Amino acid sequence: MILDRNENKDVAVLLGAGSMGMAILRRVAAGKKILLGGRRQNSLDKAAESLRYSGYDVETFVVDAVDHVQVRAFAEKAASLGPIKIFIDTAGASPSQASPEEIIRLDLIGTAYALDIFGEVMAPGGAGVIISSMTGYMPHHLTPEDENALALTSTEKLAELDCLRDEKITNSGIAYIVSKRCNHLRVRTAAATTWAERGARINSISPGIIVTPLAYDEFNAPGTTYQSMIDTCAVKRAGTSDEIAAAGAYLLGPDAGFVTGTDLLIDGGTIAALKSGLFNLRAR
Ligand SMILES: NC(=O)c1ccc[n+]([C@@H]2O[C@H](COP(=O)([O-])OP(=O)(O)OC[C@H]3O[C@@H](n4cnc5c(N)ncnc54)[C@H](O)[C@@H]3O)[C@@H](O)[C@H]2O)c1
C-alpha cells in the first residue's frame, strides 16, 4: 500500500540515532523524508522500523561520526534525497563510555566537522540542532584566548590546539566539559558564517540529566555526582527525552525564526544550583 503520494519531500537528518535524537525527530519529521545515521546497521534498522510503524518515511545510512569522510558521504546522501530542512546531531559519548581522546575526537572534533559539512548542504530556511550538554557550563581550564581559538580555528587544526593537549585533558570528565563548551562556541561561529551563508539557522541544546541509555552508563559509574545534582536542582528529578524534544521542535520550527547561534540550557536548574554553591563537583 502507498501511504504517502508526495514526491520531492523535504529531508530531516539525524546523526546518532539515540534517545533524544529520535524523540526530537518524531516531533518534527512527519511528512518529510528521514535519513537516520549511526554506526551499526542493526541499531539503525530497529530505529527505522519503530519510525515506519509510526508512519514516518525513513532511510538509513551507516556512518561513524568521528570519520569526516563518512560524514561527508552521509551529507551527500541526504542532499540527494531532497532539500535538507532539518539536521539533528546527537552522536556523542559520555565520560564513563570513552577515553579522553575518544571524547575529544567524537564530541568535539566530530561535532565540529558535522557543523562544517552540513553547513555546506542545508537548504535555505533549514535549521539544525546540536545536542551539547550542561557540562559546557561547568568550570574548566579554558582561558578567553583558548575559547577564541576553539571557536575560530579551522576544524582540521583543532586537535593541535594547546588547550587540548594531553597534559590539559587529564581525564574523560574534563574532555567532556571542554568538548561540550566547544560545541557552544562552534555553533555560534557556524551560525554567523557557513550556516548564515546558506540561509539556515543552527543552535544547540544543553541537556541536564536526561534518562537515556547513555545516562544509565553514567549513573552506574563510580564517583559520580548525579544524585547530588538531582537532589539539589530546582525541579528535584531527572529529565526525559520528550522534554528535550519539545525544545528541539521549537528551535527547529518557525517560532524560532529569529533564533540562531545560541545554546538553550535545559537542566531543571542544575547549573543554577552549582553556581549557587548548593553542590560541588567532585574531581573525576
Ligand atoms: N543523557 C544525558 O543525561 C545527557 C546529558 C547531556 C548531554 N547528553 C548528550 O546528548 C547526546 C545524545 O545522547 P543520549 O542521552 O540521547 O544517548 P543515546 O545513547 O541514546 O544516544 C547517543 C547516540 O550516539 C550514537 N553514537 C555514539 N558514537 C557514535 C559515532 N561515533 N557515530 C555515530 N553515532 C554515534 C549512539 O549509537 C547513540 O545512538 C550525546 O551527545 C550526549 O553527550 C546526554
User: Is 81 domain-assigned?
Assistant: yes
User: Is 276 domain-assigned?
Assistant: no
Closest atom of ligand 1 to CA, residue 22: 16
User: Is 104 domain-assigned?
Assistant: yes
Q: From 214, 224, 229, give the residue whose CB has the most ligand 1 atoms within 8 Å, as the site to mutate.
A: 214
Closest atom of ligand 1 to CA, residue 47: 39
Closest atom of ligand 1 to CA, residue 110: 31
- How many structural domains are present in the chain? 1
Other CB atoms within 10 Å distance of the CB of residue 148: 12
User: Is 282 domain-assigned?
Assistant: no
Centre of ligand 1 to C-alpha 109, Å, is: 15
Report the alpha-carbon distance of residue 246 to residue 2 in Å, rounded: 30
Q: How far apart are the first and last CA of the chain?
A: 55
User: Is 231 domain-assigned?
Assistant: no
Is there an atom of ligand 1 within 6 Å of 17 CB?
A: yes
Centre of ligand 1 to C-alpha 93, Å, is: 6
Q: Looking at residue 255, what DSSP letter applies?
A: G
Is there an atom of ligand 1 within 6 Å of 214 CB?
A: yes
Residue 283: per-residue pLDDT: 40
Q: Identify the CATH number of the domain in which residue 102 sits.
A: 3.40.50.720
Residue 100: per-residue pLDDT: 97
Residue 215: per-residue pLDDT: 85
Protein residue with its CA nearest to atom 37 in ligand 1: 16
Is there an atom of ligand 1 within 6 Å of 75 CB?
A: no
User: Is 60 domain-assigned?
Assistant: yes
User: Is 170 domain-assigned?
Assistant: yes
136: containing domain: 11-210+239-268
Centre of ligand 1 to C-alpha 62, Å, is: 16
Is there an atom of ligand 1 within 6 Å of 268 CB?
A: no
Is there an atom of ligand 1 within 6 Å of 93 CB?
A: yes
Is there an atom of ligand 1 within 6 Å of 215 CB?
A: yes
Centre of ligand 1 to C-alpha 231, Å, is: 24
Give Cβ neighbours of residue 181 (< 8 Å, ≥ 6 apart): 135, 136, 137, 140, 142, 147, 150
C-alpha cell at 47: 530505529
Other CB atoms within 10 Å distance of the CB of residue 226: 15
pLDDT in tens, 23-70: 999 999 999 999 999 999 999 999 999 999 999 999 999 999 999 999
Cα dihedral sign, 143-266-98-217: positive
Going by C-alpha positions, the residue among 133, 104, 159, 113 that lies closest to residue 15 is: 113
Is there an atom of ligand 1 within 6 Å of 47 CB?
A: no
Q: Which residues of the chain have a pLDDT value below 70? A: 282-284
Centre of ligand 1 to C-alpha 90, Å, is: 5
Residue 281: per-residue pLDDT: 84
Residue 221: per-residue pLDDT: 79
Which of left, alpha, beta for 253 (phi over 0: left; psi -120 to 50: alpha)? beta
User: Is 227 domain-assigned?
Assistant: no
Q: From 14, 40, 50, 90, give the residue whose CB has the most ligand 1 atoms within 8 Å, as the site to mutate.
A: 90
Is there an atom of ligand 1 within 6 Å of 130 CB?
A: no
